[in-house]
Each structure stands twice: as structure tokens, then as C-alpha cells.
A and B are shown apart, each in its own frame.
Chain A
């Protein structure tokens, strides 16, 4: 079982819709969770981090964490074509452990 799993996609949503990206992880002791966005041909950049169960909102982005189910998701409201990218889920066990990346989900927002 891979440590961090994501659907590879591509996930296609129409402009203005909600895009839902999912991630599961295998280490129940994981404490910190991150979402990176990577545009085609570019490097990853951090867009959200979440540490506690529940929702965390930042503009059009909402990260949701359920540690009991070992599941973290990213919702993008009012999706825009500029949101088209690959989204990488990353997980860290403790503050001094390295970050483990998932394979990423490709999102395409159709105008």
C-alpha cells in the first residue's frame, strides 16, 4: 500500500463548479497535511496546510481532514480555468519527519 494515494485523474469540471480532490494516507500517526499546486512545466507551490480534524477555508479553497478515516480533501469553489493544474497531497508524521508526497491529481476546468 502506498503511503499517500490520490486519484490520478484527470478530473474535469466546468467553470464555476466545485472541484473535489481526495487523498488517503496509510500512516495513522500522521499529523500534518498539505496541498501543493503544480502548473504544467512548473514547480509545486504550497496552497493549503491543515493539522486538525475538520475544515479549513482560505478564499475559494477548503481543506477537509478526517484522521479517523485517514482522509484529506481539497475543495475548490467557483472553479476557474486558471485552477487547471496538478494537485499534490503531502503528509508528515511528526514535526521533524520528512514530508511524503502523493502522485497528484490532474484537474482540468473547462470554460
Chain B
């Protein structure tokens, strides 16, 4: 069974940092691209970042570019999102998601975690 379990969310002050993790199991992790998608309370889905199977291709949404860094550890089956200079507008439920293919951005996300909540507030 495919499982994606996010962790690392919480309450953080504006300007501070947070690192999210996503532990995966049930599939060959290094065969697939991975993504982070967020959803602000009561709002729609926003793609945050994606990484190809071998970390050779990485992308970011405009609102997080230069502040967030995605990475993966294929040996440990983990996906990460380092979030710096956090803002109130980064408050959201953060999902990790598995792409259907190795190549990033070619098709849909067929497995999702349940999300970890990040709240940025003083």
C-alpha cells in the first residue's frame, strides 16, 4: 500500500524557518517525481514545488521561489521542504504528492498524504 506521511508542521513566527518531511512507503521512491501542494484554510490548491526522481529537475511556484527549497533522500525514502522567511500568507495545509511518472510535470499526482498544517503568526 502506498503511504505518504507528512510531518514538521506547526506554529511559527513570521520570518522564521520550518522544515517539512514526507516519509513514503509502498512504492519504489526513486522511480517517481514528487511534489508539495498547499491549501490555505478554505481556499483552493496551490502547487508549491516539485522534484524529479533524481533531483535533476526542480521547480517552484512564484510565491515561494527563493524562500523554499525542495529536496529528497532516495536512500531514506524521504521528501523535504525547507521553508525560510515564512510569511502569514504561507499558512496552509501542506500535502506531499507522488507524480504518476519519473519526469516532473508530465502528468497527474496519483497519491497524496493527509497533509501537515503550517501556521505563520506572531
Q: Do A and B come from one complex?
A: no
